[in-house]
Homo-oligomer: A and B are copies of this chain.
């Protein structure tokens, strides 16, 4: 079968990169390949040395990205059996905030021999969590100064974000800070490697870099209030801010030959991996919310207006699909919570998957309300809408007759109530959400979860068709960057019409169960507000006992 024009999607995850080759006009995935990073996640010692890293550190090797990319692209193109010339555009999604310091030539500092032994010269992976003290100070200083950016993040920035990571560098190794020409997202750096042009994608800049289209980055005075040397940080954030999917250049001849593709092939501005699932789930206009349900859940939504929705993790103009405000909210423990329980009852051993299946079946039999057990799903704190990492889990209503299925169901329902609470926050600002689209392994595995969520939220839920939504979204970026005349697409709407799809069938709410859940949701809200809104500070006191 001869292929039509194709787009290449590159999905850079935590341990590996996936390349997919997708026909732009049919959405048919012609080929796919995965390559793991040679050094994986670097948590103990710097590569080739015995230099030890501190607790909560997580680094990567930038060379791994290029090496694995070449391998994956080669594999995907071979599997696709398409002429290189048929690949018209390349899109990238990447974990974030994953940043590295570079020199004036966009060369990673860690690859310069005199810098290789300095941990702070390396790529800081998104889950490098050693900058929590810095994040705490950023939040305090920003709060004191009344920094306007705080409102876009519901008052709290994360230790995972760019500002905390750079502040850690300047405090712990000022020589690296001084030597850095700039600090860039790894996704933007890979895009620059492909086409020679360094830009910053608006998605990562906005959701992880405190940038907004209206205000730009925070002002130099704010950075100086964190650390005197940081006054120069605005100068160390090089690159125009560009919406994901905008063409930023053509593939260099050097990279074209390494990848076996045509030089000049359109390269798109990158996007964060989670956000890449949004267009892949057919969501390129307002009204439908995408939920990426995995260990945690990320909720994403497009809207015409910028509203102060309570508890959002970020609101970014052009942050997901150009022309719209992208809203992000989150629940920090969903699959992790169910996994905790499965492990809790199963103990160590290889049969966790079987336990999971049994629990799902027993929970389905338990019926709504798990015989009177209600939970707060805060095993990893609460992101939206309360924004309090010190909150913790609650189970209540147990009797001697309570079964495992009852408890498991109550945990599942609690995550559904948490989702409904987020929808309520959007509704309070008149940002409409009429339908839910689920993406991710847990959503695929648990029909019960989908039904419970539909019943609790009174909204139909569809599943995205692509088994690798982020990679598909990246390919859509490549197609939009290529443009219609080159065999790509003129807009995300056109790209979605040809390249994105939902699975047939959708899960509709059952009115009787929805009525029952209305009553249980009121109980959830009472617990939510009692423990989460100042009824008691018991949870933060108990967190101190935990250490």
Measured in the bound complex, the distance between the Cα atoms of B397 and A341 in whole Å is 14
Measured in the bound complex, the distance between the Cα atoms of B397 and A404 in whole Å is 19
Q: Out of B333, B372, B379, B407, which one reaches A545, CB within 8 Å? A: B372
Q: A336-B400, A538-B526, A538-B527 are in contact. Are A543 and B372 (CB under 8 A)?
A: yes
Measured in the bound complex, the distance between the Cα atoms of B544 and A371 in whole Å is 9
> Which residues of chain A (264-323) have a CB below 8 Å from chain B?
none
Are A545 and B369 closer than 8 Å at their CB atoms? yes
Q: Which residues of B contact A542 (CB under 8 A)?
A: 369, 372-374, 396-397, 523
Measured in the bound complex, the distance between the Cα atoms of B344 and A400 in whole Å is 10
Are A398 and B392 closer than 8 Å at their CB atoms? yes
Measured in the bound complex, the distance between the Cα atoms of B401 and A415 in whole Å is 18
Shortest beta-carbon distance from A295 to chain B in Å? 10
Are A393 and B392 closer than 8 Å at their CB atoms? no
Are B520 and A526 closer than 8 Å at their CB atoms? no
Nearest chain B residue, comparing its CB with the CB of A407: B344
Interface size class of A (residues with CB under 8 A): 35 or more
Are B392 and A396 closer than 8 Å at their CB atoms? yes
Measured in the bound complex, the distance between the Cα atoms of B381 and A399 in whole Å is 8
The 27 sampled A-B contact pairs (Cβ below 8 Å) are: A333-B400, A340-B400, A344-B345, A344-B407, A347-B404, A369-B542, A371-B545, A372-B392, A374-B538, A379-B400, A380-B400, A392-B397, A393-B397, A394-B395, A394-B396, A395-B395, A396-B396, A396-B542, A397-B539, A397-B542, A397-B545, A399-B546, A520-B545, A523-B538, A523-B541, A523-B542, A526-B538
Measured in the bound complex, the distance between the Cα atoms of B545 and A523 in whole Å is 11
> Which residues of chain A (69-100) have a CB below 8 Å from chain B?
none
> Which residues of chain A (53-69) have a CB below 8 Å from chain B?
none
Shortest beta-carbon distance from A502 to chain B in Å? 32
Measured in the bound complex, the distance between the Cα atoms of B536 and A530 in whole Å is 10
As a 0/1 sequence over residues 343 to 378 of chain A, the CB contacts with chain B under 8 angstroms (1 = contact) are 011010000000000000000000001011110000
Measured in the bound complex, the distance between the Cα atoms of B344 and A398 in whole Å is 12
As a 0/1 sequence over residues 524 to 537 of chain A, the CB contacts with chain B under 8 angstroms (1 = contact) are 00110011000010
Q: Which residues of B contact A347 (CB under 8 A)?
A: 345, 404
Since A344-B345, A369-B542, A393-B398 are in contact, a sample of 13 more A-B pairs with Cβ atoms closer than 8 Å, ordered by chain A residue number, is A372-B543, A372-B545, A373-B542, A374-B538, A379-B400, A392-B398, A393-B402, A396-B538, A397-B542, A397-B546, A519-B545, A527-B538, A530-B536
Nearest chain B residue, comparing its CB with the CB of A345: B345
Measured in the bound complex, the distance between the Cα atoms of B401 and A336 in whole Å is 11
Shortest beta-carbon distance from A29 to chain B in Å? 35
> Which residues of chain A (386-442) have a CB below 8 Å from chain B?
392-402, 404, 407
For A392, A394, A520, A531, the residue with the greatest tally of chain B CB atoms inside 10 Å of its CB is A392
Shortest beta-carbon distance from A36 to chain B in Å? 26
As a 0/1 sequence over residues 27 to 70 of chain A, the CB contacts with chain B under 8 angstroms (1 = contact) are 00000000000000000000000000000000000000000000
